[in-house]
A = this chain, B = another copy of it.
């Protein structure tokens, strides 16, 4: 069965987004700096339609986020468009050709029909919970893995429910001082470290469910 994997960047003080998240500032104050390790990489630039960029020890982790999966699950806030019933003109942050290129399952309390984008990305809106979203994503992914896109709340729910098979925490030397924490409300979740990799400005630590 395909695995559910999350790769997420965290400041050393534990935040995956800074304070004061808003549509203009989806990662909160200071949050845009969390991904300074990722944005210059060739693997990231190519997935967003740009040429050039760096190759370093972070490259396999950048590729793992986007290229390794056959489906993605994300929370409502990560898809955007504000709370409440859908404004159908909102089709995500990523333009006409989002960098997923596979089915994306958006967890929401508000029903909406599928939204088909260019390049193989279709957004499906799931209103009956995290297990249903995982079942649908696994069916769509075939023999590939399912990527958990975030944000923090959705990641916590899958982690606490024991449904997350693998977690890569990319720890960056930032102190955000506030915002959204990844590791809270986790019940009896247990992790085992399987790998850690030093890269410029970041340490990637891979965990599996213990």
Task: Please list the residues of chain A having a beta carbon within 8 angstroms of any beta carbon in chain B.
Answer: 12-14, 169, 171-175, 177, 181, 183-184, 186, 189-193, 195-198, 201-203, 205, 207, 210
Contacts and interface: CB of A to CB of B under 8 A. Distances in A.
B197 A175 contact: no
A13 B201 CA distance: 20
Given A191-B12, A196-B196, A177 B186 contact: yes
Contacts of A192: 173
B173 A207 contact: yes
Contacts of A183: 12-14, 175
Given A12-B207, A14-B183, A175-B183, 10 more contacts: A12-B205, A13-B14, A174-B191, A175-B189, A175-B190, A175-B191, A177-B186, A193-B201, A193-B202, A195-B198
